[in-house]
Each structure stands twice: as structure tokens, then as C-alpha cells.
Chain A
Amino acid sequence: MRWLWIDKFVEFQSGRFARSVKNVSMAEEQLRDHFPGYPIMPNSLIIEGMAQTGGILVGEAQGFKNMVVLAKLSRVDFCDAALPGDQLTYEAKLVELNDEGAMVEGKAFVNGRPLATAEILFGHVDRSGASAVLNGRYASYRQELTHLLGVPDRAADATHGTEGALAASAAGPS
């Protein structure tokens, strides 16, 4: 399974806002055990979808020059659940951004209804230090990201950054 929890971006305003969608399929592995006989999309993976949407927004805002790491979830609230066949929409609004990191307000909707909100803090990691830790493990996500972003030229110009943004989104809270 690839660590991609969004299917595509449907809106992308550089440095400001991004909206993505994710279709929940009964074929997905996580629904087999969560829960047996009663599949529900895990909240943790919905958070990951918001974080990937926000992490790519943050990385792209600085031309992917820094590696972006999901550092902290200050607050997350859920008010509904997502089931197989539902469509999730993730929104990320860039609230703060500097050389050290960024804060994003995330929202999730299920079939257009409010599902969750989150405050997500990202850190910027020096690329030389991060490459030693990540060891290129996320390189295969480049092409998918290019497709997701729908900005092939920009992604091609920032090959390492594309890798970093995905790695960041996939890193999970510390």
C-alpha cells in the first residue's frame, strides 16, 4: 500500500489554500480490521489526509526548498464518521509560515457534511540532515505527487522537494 491518503487536488492556491478529495473504498486494507463487520475510515487516516493536503501546501509555498515535517496536532475534533462509498474532502488553509515551520487549519467533510477540524503544525527540517534520516525512501511518490498537484513543471524543478513534502506528510506526529 502506498502512503497516499488523498486521491487528487481539486483546488490549489499557492501559499494560501488547498482542497483535495479522497474516495473511501471497501477494497482498502485498513477497513478489513477497522472494524470487522463494520468498516469505518479510521480517524487517524483522515487526519493524515488533512496533513498531506496541508503538508504539500506548505512545501509548495516555499518551492519545496525545505523538508516539511508533520510536527504537532494542537487540536482535532470529529463530529461524524466516513464509511465505504463516501467521499472525503480535505481543506487546508495556511495560517502562518516562516523558515522554522507553518501552521495550517485543516477541515474534513464527508459527502459535503462537516466531519472534522484540526490545527496542524509543520516543522521545516534542514534537507542535509533529513536526507540522512529518510534515505530516499519516499522517492517513489514523486510521480504520484506530480499528478496530484497537477503542476508537472513545478514538481520537475523541485524533485527533492516533492519527495520531501510527501515524506513530511507521511512522517506522522512526533
Chain B
Amino acid sequence: MTETPAVTCHTLSKSFGPVRAVESVSFRLERGEFLALLGPSGCGKTTVLRMIAGLEQPDSGTISLAGQVVSDGHAFVPPDRRRVGLVFQDYALFPHMTVAENIAYGMARGRDRHGRMAELLALVGLDEYGGRYPRELSGGQQQRVALARALAPQPDVILLDEPFSNLDVALRTQVREDVQRIIHMAGVSAVLVTHDQDEAMSMADCIAVMFAGRIHQIGTPRALYEAPVSRQVAQFLGDANLIPGTARERVAETALGDLPLRTPADGAVEVLVRPEALILGDIPDGALATVQRTIYHGAHQIVWLVLADGTPLKAFAPADVEWQAGQQVRVTVRGAALAYPA
């Protein structure tokens, strides 16, 4: 028997005046899965989240939560009856309530509220802070209160709207791990909205990449990185060298030499070469390139090169060899590459 998905969005669209914020977005979120909606700011990802929460009404399309239609042409279930938790970018903690009052706000009346409160405070590591007011907490602590508050009514799905953007970079990695652990322990499904590819890749089981209101690709972080469907996706996830060339069947003729292709193509193309796929050294059949500059990173180094025809390249190379600016070096590509029609 197949379980019903936690969230199903089918051809969602939404316009604000003349601006088409979301266009025909569809995806499924399985139970217990962690999905990231990744895209540049203004791509419509937050609008998708707000439509799932019931804070915006889609112009068309269907949203189902745990198999129940909550929004389509006829029905619209208000946010308070969707069993969806939302963690806001600015946390939106009620300033006139203590931490405990904030967390208790959404809990059902009656049942073991004290026990549940203690459990939640412990889960987010704020056992001692129940009586404090939000303004007395650090950003990271406020973040965890917001998460505990969203989890308190035991939602089926938790939605996170750029939850780490207000935190110091130094704090972010730690808080990310905490949040991921807490959500995993709570056993809920989650949708994370972010513009940070590191965040999406490190937290999510599955990433949906959005540009200009549309989802361009959905897949695991590995699938997206290794087989992006377009140049745009390739460039948004990680670093990408896009090298112009001419393809015939499974080979592309480029300034880097003849590169084997994973899928056959014909005519003018751009070939995706990730920086870590470039091999630098004294390789007999490699293309000749000139080192422009290097940045040493300890474990590896970044080397900027330029090919004889002027094509720039970025390479991640082992740190053991020290390259000098102006030095000539030979370059080859490891493995088969992807080509996009130019």
C-alpha cells in the first residue's frame, strides 16, 4: 500500500497584479521527506510556501495536504485548519508573550500541556528559558523558539521560510544542523525555502530549483549537481565552466580538446565542466592553458586559467603543486560531460 504524500501541489499559479509570481508549479512531498525550494530572491518560492500555509490563495491549481484537498477552484481551507507549521524569516515571535506562552499558543487545550512544553523546550535546548521574553534571547535562540512553537500543535508539515538568513554566518552551520536534527526527531515532513545552495544541499533530501515562478528541476542534491537540466540550473548549483564547442553524436569539439559526452548532441553546444573535473599537470594530450591566479584553501586550491582562444576556466586542484601566475599548464577533463544547445 502506498502512503499518501504529505504535500501535493498541482499546477499552482499566482499573480500579484501584472506580476506572475508562480507559474504552474507542481511537486510532491512524501511523508518524512525534507524538500528545499531553491532559487534567487523574487523567484516565487516564498509565495509557494505561503500558498501551502493558506496565507495566499492560488489563482489556479490544487494543493493537497495528506490527501485532503485544501485549495482548488472551489475549496479553500483557512490557515488555522491546515495543520501546517510555519517558521517565519523574522521568526514572528509574539513580543508580549514569554517563550513558554509563545510555544503554548498553538497547543490544543486540555491534554498534557506541561509535559509537552517541557519536551519541546528540551528538544530545542531551551529548558531554562521558558519565562524569558523573545527580546531577551539571541537570534539563534529566537530561531529555535520559533521552531518549537511551530512544532507544538504537532503539524503534519513544517514550512521554513529562509529561516537562517537573519543569523550570523558563523552561527548558521550549527543552527542548520540543530534544526535538521530537531525536525528529523519530530518526524515531520518539511519544506525549506532558501536562496542558499549550500543550505539546500546540506539539509534537504530533495531540491526543487525555481526561476521566475517556475520549477526547472527537482531531484536529489547529487542528481541536480551531476545532471543539471539547463545551464541556469548548473550555474545556480555550484561552480560551472561552460565551454563553447561543436557536438557530433557523443563527442564535442572544444578549445579543451575533444570531450566525450554523456548524451548524444549535434551542432553548437556549451559543455558543462565542473571545476573539480579539470585535471592540471604535465598531461601529454591536454590543452594548453595559462595560469591567471590562484587562491590557496589549505585542502585544495582554486586555479583560474585561460585557454589559448581566451576561454576562461576555473579549476579545483590538489594543494600540493604550487602554480605561478603566467605559468603554462596542460588541462584535461575527467569523465564524460554534459552539453547544452548553445
On whether the two chains bind one another, the answer is no
Q: Which residues of B contact A (CB under 8 A)?
A: none
